[in-house]
Amino acid sequence: MIEKKGKSQIIVTLLPVIIALAIISGIFIGRFLYLIQREKDSNFPEEEGIISDIQGMMNIYPQGDKISYVLNYIAREYVDPISQSELVEKTIPKLISELDPHSLYIPAKDLKEVNEPLEGNFSGIGVQFNMLNDTLIILKTIPNGPSEKIGILAGDRILIVEGDTVAGKNIPSDDIVKKLKGPKGTKVKVGIQRREVDDVLLFEITRDNIPLYSMDIAYMIRPGIGYIKLNNFSRTTAQEFTQGALKLIGEGMKNLILDLRSNGGGYMEPAVEIADQFLDGNQLIVYTVGNAQKRMDYRASNGGMCKDIQLVVLIDEGTASASEILAGALQDNDIGTIIGRRSFGKGLVQTQQDFSDGSALRLTIARYYTPTGRCIQKPYENGESEDYYLELSKRFLHGEATELDSVSFNDSLRYTTPGGKVVYGGGGIMPDVFVPIDTSGISEYLANVRNRGLIYRFALSYTDSHRDELEKLVSVTELRKYLDKQNVLQALVKFAAENDVPPVSGQIHESELILKTQLYAFIARNIYDNEGFYPMIEDIDTTLLKAIEFISNYLE
């Protein structure tokens, strides 16, 4: 029942409200007139009482827009001039840092570089290079790329870029790269020093799109055993994997070692597409759920080309995100065998919001779950990203890298696959076969040489001075035989001594296999790229050797 009131009673009831509104209006009008007068006359006296009252009344803003109010207020009233745009750029990263460890704000100046590995290409001159004696030396030109087309060769040194000398001036290699990169179709002039040519050669290179490959290599590591190494998950990864797998199948592959070690992930979709190649139709690959995101299932299609291939997947503590989606999907569907050490533990899904000024925000919008329902995201506290990433160091200190018994899981996070395999959530993918870090051959001498980058530096120098002989060798086997005759290990030891790492004979003997293998592998990479590096380095890769042994003993 609604009670009726007379006019006089209503006026009496509303009188306090009317008076309050009149006071507020008067204060705002007074503030407005005061600001006008102060703008006209810089000597106009400060009315502290009025300002104080107005400040109290001015703290009125649309709900949820307090941040904008504060930024505007600071820009308007701060004691010193301040750029509001700079204030915003500094504020957003701090705001995002209070969320999970994987949400990220990317300033406009960094966005292109951050996106390049995921997009699978960039615009440049098409060379692989490194710094030797403060000079950029070209290791390889990209086949059919802009540098190869105009006659630039491996071994050439870049001395000049756009009239500026870039050699011998301690210019960081990243700064030189920025000069060489640029939009497709634009030109860059470079001065090249070439062996046996006295004059500096001048070239004008037209920049073009240069592919970035997420598949390092696909080759037959043993008869019937293929090996594919993926370094990330970009837009082109699924296509690269398909091409690599088809090539190996054509070469007689019956078993595949898929190496996801140190693969930090990237886009989720390529991981789903690759998992699809091993699964039957409609099998669940992964699903995602978020506060504003309904559950979304990703399922296999009607069978992939690798269904009949026996699979081993290699993982370690650097395997994260999309890599864990792929490994988890295979493990939970009882496909293949996971070998290595526990993965990183990233089970959060980000989406990128691009802004009109060229910046972007990657915001976590969901968690992903493996087919058994596992969330493999390791624990974190909002705003505590440092502790989150130090967790890997704690694993090593705890002994997890060397002892299987050091790994423990909460029994409440126990799941069972359709085939009866017990798996756990709550912090990464645990392999089916654990392989500890191999500490044999590790010495203080080895650590000093590696930490100073002397193995790679010597390999680059050796390649450069022996390029004519090395390029005549047509295979990794021939290269190995050649290097065995040259006693390059002794030359490395001499080079290290010249760079403040004196020889320690007992420790050199202890680490001889590692020193020699890494040196051979880096020289091979300088000549044959990854097709040379991986066949050489496998001699000391205990996890890979374990996988080969596993296939030989259990799958064939």
Q: Which of 437, 472, 498 is the last residue of a domain?
A: 437
Pick 175 or 27 by higher pLDDT.
175
Let me know if residue 482 belongs to a domain. Answer: yes
Q: Does residue 43 register a pLDDT over 70?
A: no
Q: What is the CATH number of the domain that holds 130?
A: 2.30.42.10
Identify whether the C-beta of residue 189 lies closer than 8 Å to the C-beta of residue 202.
yes
Q: Which of 23-32, 95-104, 486-495, 530-539 has the lowest mean pLDDT?
A: 23-32
Assign 1 a pLDDT band (cuts: 50, 70, 90): very low
Most confident of 90-94, 253-257, 455-459: 253-257
Sign of the CA dihedral 163, 167, 170, 175? positive
Q: Does residue 5 register a pLDDT over 50?
A: no
Q: What is the pLDDT of residue 52?
A: 46
Pick 469 or 16 by higher pLDDT.
469
Assign 304 a pLDDT band (cuts: 50, 70, 90): confident
Token pair for 356: 């009109």
pLDDT digits (tens, 9 = 90+) for 325-347: 999 999 999 999 999 999 999 99
Of 531, 537, 544, 530, the C-alpha closest to 316 is 544
Let me know if residue 190 belongs to a domain. Answer: yes
Residues 237 and 363 in one domain: yes
Residues 295 and 359 in one domain: yes
Let me know if residue 65 belongs to a domain. Answer: no
Give the pairing of strands 225-230 and 215-222: antiparallel
Residues 192 and 226 in one domain: no
Assign 161 a pLDDT band (cuts: 50, 70, 90): very high
Token pair for 507: 């420790």
Distance CA 551, CA 554 (A): 5
Q: Does residue 178 register a pLDDT over 90?
A: no
Q: Does residue 145 register a pLDDT over 80?
A: yes
Q: What is the pLDDT of residue 196?
A: 80
Residues 364 and 299 in one domain: yes
Residues 291 and 426 in one domain: yes
Let me know if residue 88 belongs to a domain. Answer: no
Q: What is the CATH number of the domain that holds 409?
A: 3.90.226.10
For 144, the domain range is: 121-211
pLDDT digits (tens, 9 = 90+) for 428-439: 999 999 999 999
Q: Does residue 55 register a pLDDT over 50?
A: no
Give, for 215, the enclosing helix (H) or strand (E).
Answer: strand 215-222
Let me know if residue 76 belongs to a domain. Answer: no
Q: Given phi > 0 = left and psi -120 to 50 = alpha, else beta, which region is 249?
A: alpha
Q: Which of 169, 194, 211 is the last residue of a domain?
A: 211
Distance CA 449, CA 504 (A): 12
Residues 240 and 387 in one domain: yes
Which residues fall within 8 angstroms of residue 186, CB to CB, at 6 or more apart? 123, 206, 207
Residues 204 and 221 in one domain: no
Angle between helices 84-97 and 66-77 (to 10 degrees): 140
Q: What is the pLDDT of residue 39?
A: 53
Angle between helices 268-276 and 322-332 (to 10 degrees): 30
Residues 288 and 374 in one domain: yes
Let me know if residue 161 belongs to a domain. Answer: yes
Q: Which of 188, 211, 234 is the last residue of a domain?
A: 211
Let me know if residue 227 belongs to a domain. Answer: yes
Identify whether the C-beta of residue 437 lies closer than 8 Å to the C-beta of residue 399.
no
Q: What is the pLDDT of residue 53?
A: 44
Assign 56 a pLDDT band (cuts: 50, 70, 90): very low
Residues 242 and 365 in one domain: yes
Edge-to-edge strands, sheet with 255-259: 215-222, 225-230, 255-259, 310-315, 337-340, 433-434
Residues 161 and 292 in one domain: no
- For residue 337, how many other CB atoms are within 10 A of its CB? 19
Of 171, 167, 147, the C-alpha closest to 157 is 167
Distance CA 337, CA 419 (A): 13
Let me know if residue 6 belongs to a domain. Answer: no
**Averaged over 500-508, what is the pLDDT?**
95
- Average confidence score pLDDT of the chain: 88
Per DSSP, the residues of 300-322 read --S--TTTTSEEEEEE-TT--TH
DSSP 233: B
Token pair for 471: 């390029």
Residues 33 and 128 in one domain: no
Residues 452 and 401 in one domain: no
Give, for 260, the enclosing helix (H) or strand (E).
Answer: none
Domain count across the chain: 4
The secondary structure of the chain in percent helix, strand, coil, rounded to multiples of 5, reads 45, 20, 35
Q: Given phi > 0 = left and psi -120 to 50 = alpha, else beta, which region is 336?
A: left
> What is the distance of C-alpha 300 from the center of its chain?
27
Token pair for 429: 């993918």
Distance CA 343, CA 261 (A): 9
